[in-house]
């Protein structure tokens, strides 16, 4: 059996590309895999909520196979891929004729779709999941959403973790020195594309409050702003004391920065049914990760991460937990150890790849 593998790949600046590169290696240990062939016995399509997946989405509809939903919301992708008439018809296909006027309203307000929770409440998955032979998701939230949109076979396969090359504490110290972070600082890190759903304003506000009480706290913000409005709003706080700013990081430097922080803040609200590759990576190297409490993170043990409630309690909870981690190093270290143990047990590349291969064999042979 030859598996056709359709996904963005490095150097594309997306977590899906990094995931795909690791998965290809694991699958090739199981059998023959070709990247985007014209013909294959079994097709594996990776779909995400951005334009990088436009051609893959088209192929998944044209030649049905197994789709992997890295985001269980494709609404924003379709807003960018379709014109007004096609978008409205697609919305009606998903949610019925009685929602045609709502579709028009969403189209008119599409400039604010990244921060408007209503767009996340309408994932627009029906066409993709109804055509698929099977749908792979990484968490219970995505599984539920896929089934609600008409998916037949849904397989929940955990996100994978591909460990970095060993770096060592000395390299992390040198990296912090290069950034000008003082010795003894407790460094929080925010990584990835900086969009409203990453809750950066809440993070910066909470950090500023913690920093006034605990000057040893530091915050590393690494990534590109997706929204110019967010960039302008965040600018004064990003320039504040104890905040260190980096652009998008290539793979090798990402791991250096990840190993140089003491904890990762990785909030997602509104959520798109995704399992964050950044969260899995930082947990995998033993860093405590602060995540938005929700269905997407249900599989994480309670003592292996720090859960932050969304909504009105978010900022107070952030401040409380950031103070705790900064003040009591043993707490951060223990959460990090438990998170790493969970990732080693459930997210190994070899185990995940074997599950994919069994699914593909079951469907196509």
CA proximity to 155, closest of 335, 307, 357, 365? 357
pLDDT per position in the chain (365 positions), as tens? 999 999 999 988 888 999 999 999 999 999 999 999 999 999 999 999 888 899 999 999 999 999 999 999 999 999 999 999 999 999 999 999 999 999 999 999 998 898 889 999 999 999 999 999 999 999 999 999 999 999 999 999 999 999 887 777 788 889 999 999 999 999 999 999 998 889 999 999 999 999 999 999 999 999 998 888 889 999 999 999 999 999 999 888 999 999 999 999 999 998 888 999 999 999 999 999 999 999 999 899 999 999 999 999 999 999 999 999 999 989 999 999 999 999 999 999 999 999 999 999 999 98
pLDDT of 62 reads 96
How many other CB atoms are there within 10 angstroms of residue 212's CB atom? 11
Tokens representing 74 are 């494709």
The answer to whether the predicted template modeling score (pTM) of the entire model surpasses 0.85 is yes
pLDDT of 13 reads 85
Q: How far is CA 123 from the centre of its chain?
A: 16
- Answer for the pair 291, 279: CB distance below 8 angstroms, yes or no: yes
Tokens representing 158 are 């955990």
pLDDT of 318 reads 97
- Answer for the pair 141, 268: CB distance below 8 angstroms, yes or no: no
End-to-end CA distance of the chain: 8
Length of the chain: 365
Q: Is 261 exposed, middle or buried (0-12, 13-18, 19+ CB in 10 A)?
A: buried
pLDDT of 295 reads 92
- Answer for the pair 288, 336: CB distance below 8 angstroms, yes or no: yes
Show the domains of the chain with their CATH numbers: 2-74+123-160+348-364 (3.40.50.2000), 169-346 (3.40.50.2000)
Strand extents, DSSP E, the chain = 2-6, 32-35, 42-47, 66-69, 134-137, 154-156, 186-191, 217-222, 243-246, 263-266, 289-292, 306-308
Q: Looking at the DSSP assignment, which residues form a beta bridge with residue 35?
A: 5
């Amino acid at each position: 059996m030859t598996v056709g593998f359709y996904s963005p790949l490095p150097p594309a600046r997306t977590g899906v590309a990094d995931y795909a590169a690791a998965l290809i290696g694991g699958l090739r240990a199981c059998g023959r895999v070709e990247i985007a062939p014209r013909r294959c016995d079994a097709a594996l399509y990776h779909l995400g909520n951005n334009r990088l997946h436009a051609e893959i989405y088209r192929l998944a509809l044209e030649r049905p196979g197994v789709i992997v939903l890295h985001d269980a919301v494709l609404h924003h992708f379709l807003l960018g891929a379709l014109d007004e008439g096609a978008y409205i018809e697609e919305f009606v296909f998903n949610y019925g004729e009685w929602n045609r006027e709502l579709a028009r309203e969403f189209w008119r307000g599409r400039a604010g779709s990244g921060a408007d929770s209503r767009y996340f409440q309408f994932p627009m998955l029906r066409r993709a999941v109804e055509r698929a032979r099977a749908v792979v998701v990484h968490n219970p939230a995505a599984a539920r959403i896929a089934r609600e949109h008409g998916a037949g076979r849904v397989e929940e396969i955990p996100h994978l973790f591909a460990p970095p090359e060993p770096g060592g504490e000395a390299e992390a110290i040198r990296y912090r020195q290069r950034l000008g972070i003082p010795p003894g600082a407790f460094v929080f890190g925010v990584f990835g594309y900086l969009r409203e759903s990453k809750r950066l304003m809440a993070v910066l506000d909470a950090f500023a409050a913690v920093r006034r009480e605990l000057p040893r706290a530091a915050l590393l913000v690494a990534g590109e702003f997706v929204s110019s409005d967010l960039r302008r709003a965040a600018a004064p706080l990003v320039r504040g004391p104890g905040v260190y700013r980096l652009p998008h990081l290539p793979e090798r430097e990402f791991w250096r920065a990840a190993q140089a922080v003491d904890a990762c803040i990785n909030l997602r609200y509104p959520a798109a049914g995704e399992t964050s590759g950044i969260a899995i990576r930082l947990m995998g190297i033993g860093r405590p990760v602060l995540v938005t409490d929700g269905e997407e993170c249900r599989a994480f043990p309670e003592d292996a991460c720090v859960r932050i409630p969304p909504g009105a309690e978010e900022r107070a909870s952030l401040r409380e937990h950031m103070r705790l981690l900064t003040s009591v190093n043993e707490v951060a270290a223990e959460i990090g150890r438990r998170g790493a143990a969970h990732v080693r047990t459930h997210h190994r590349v070899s185990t995940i790849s074997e599950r994919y291969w069994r699914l593909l064999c079951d469907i196509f042979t």
